[in-house]
Amino acid sequence: MPASRRIIITVPEALLYEVDDFTAAASINRSELVREAIKFYLGERKKRLVIEQMKKGYLEMADINLSLAGEDMGVEEEL
């Protein structure tokens, strides 16, 4: 693993109990769980950002495409 740094986090006691139950059942330690949870969370955030950017792009292009389609309709009428 690349260089690591120790951090301190505070979580509610009930959540820590859930973490401990999960780590015991999965045979991993808290650090592994937290690392994987952070990676998962950041990955999901990146996916959502890309989707939002794509939506924005499609909406911006919709007006342009509609305008172009309207222009094409005029050409067909001339034929």
Determine if residue 9 is left, alpha or beta; phi over 0 gives left, psi from -120 to 50 gives alpha, anything else beta.
beta
Taking 80 as the threshold, does the pLDDT of residue 70 lie above it? no
The 10s digit of each residue's pLDDT in 2-20 is: 799 999 999 999 999 999 9
Q: Both tokens of residue 56?
A: 């924005």
- In this predicted structure, which of 23-27, 52-56, 61-65 has the lowest mean pLDDT? 61-65
Res. 55 pLDDT band, cuts 50 70 90: very high
Helices 13-26, 30-78: axis angle to 10 degrees equals: 90
Contacts of 23 (CB under 8 A, 6+ apart): 29, 30, 32, 33
- The pTM for the full model equals 0.66
* Higher per-residue pLDDT: 56 or 72: 56
Q: Both tokens of residue 58?
A: 């499609």
